[in-house]
Structure 1
Amino acid sequence: MRRHMILAAVVAAVAAGWLAWPSIARQAGVMGATDAPPARAVGADAGAGGRQWFEAVPERDAQMQRVPLTPVDSSGSAWLSMADAREHGDPRTPPLQRDEARTPPTAAQLADPKAYQQYQQGQQLRVLGAFADAAAAELPRLQADVERGRAAGVPAEQIAKVEEKIRRIEQQRRLILREHPELAGAASH
C-alpha cells in the first residue's frame, strides 16, 4: 500500500512538472522570443560571498543561441551498439595488461590448505614488493612535480595535498620494508 502511494506521488509530481514546463520555459525565455535578457539566477549562498558557476557567465553571453549538433549515426539502434560494445569491447579503450609474473597454484598447493596458504602469502609478498619498488621509483618524480608546481605558482593548498600523498606513500613503503625486511634488497631507495 505504501509503495503505491509513493508511486502515485512521484507520478503526480512528474505530471505536474510536465504540464508546468511550457510556462516555466516561457518565463526563462527558452520557448518564446523575448527582447528582454534572461533573468540571472542567484544562489541561496550568493549573499554569503559564494558564487554559483552560472553567475560567472558574463551578462552578454547569457543569451540563448542555437548551436548545430554534431552528426550522429542513427542507422543502428543504441541498444545494439551497447550490446556490441559489451561483447566485443570499445576499440577506443586501452588493452588490459595481464600480470605475467603471477604463477597459478599447483595442484598440490590447491590440495593442501597449508601449502595454499603459503602460496597466498608469497603472492601477497610479491604485491607488497611491487608496491615498494614502484614507490621507490615514483617518489623522486613526485618530488620533482612538487618543485615544478612551486616554481609555476601552484596554490599552496594543492601542493600540500600532493606533499601529504608523498608522505603517506613513503610511510607505507617504510612500513612494508620494516615488516618484510627480505624486500629491502629489491626495493632499495
Structure 2
Amino acid sequence: MKALLAALLLTAMVLVMVRWLPTAAQTGVPVLAENNEVAAKTPALKQQKQAAATLPMIDTVAQRERQPVDSRLHDSASSPAPSPQAVAALRESMRHGDARTPPLAPGTDLREPPGDAELADPALYQQYEQRQQQQVYASFAQAADQRIPELEALIAKGRAEGISEAQLAEGEAKLAKLREQRDQLAAQQPSVDEASAEEEQD
C-alpha cells in the first residue's frame, strides 16, 4: 500500500514538473543579487520588453472610420441638394411616365386562337396546328421572296462601289443560304408556295 502511494506521489510530482519546466525555460529564472533585487534580466525578458515597446498602437476599423457627429452633420450639409425642377420632373415621370419614351412596337403575333370546337376535338385541333404551321412556312417564303431581290441589289451596289471581296463573299453566302432554305422548304411543303402566292395576290 505504501509503495502504491509513493508511486502515485512520484507520478504527480513528475506531471507538475513537466508542466512547469517548459514555462520556466521560456521565461527564465531571474538572478537575484545579495540585496534580493534582480541583478540581471534574462534575454527572454529583454526580448519581450523590446517587442512590446516597438509595437505600434493599433486602432480598430470602427475607430478609424467613425466620425464625430458634428463633422457628419457638416458633411451632409455641404453635399449638393437637387434642384426643385429636377425633383418635380422626377415625380412627374414616376406618376405619368416620360414623354420622351418611344412608343412600343406593335405586336407581331398574328396567330388566330383556336375555336371551341377545335379545343374540344383532338383531331380538329391537330388540323388547326397544321394550318398554323403552314401559315408560318408561307410567311417565311413570302419574306424570303421579298428579301432575296434586296440582297441581290445590295451585292450589286457593293460590287459597283468597290467594297472588299471578303464582304462581297459574306453577302453572297447569306443570299445563297436564304435561297437554299426557301427551296428546301418549298420541296418539303409544296402547299407553302401556293399559300405564299395567295398571300401576295391578297
| Greater helix proportion | 2
**Structure with max Cα Rg:** 2
TM superposition score normalised by structure 1: 0.50
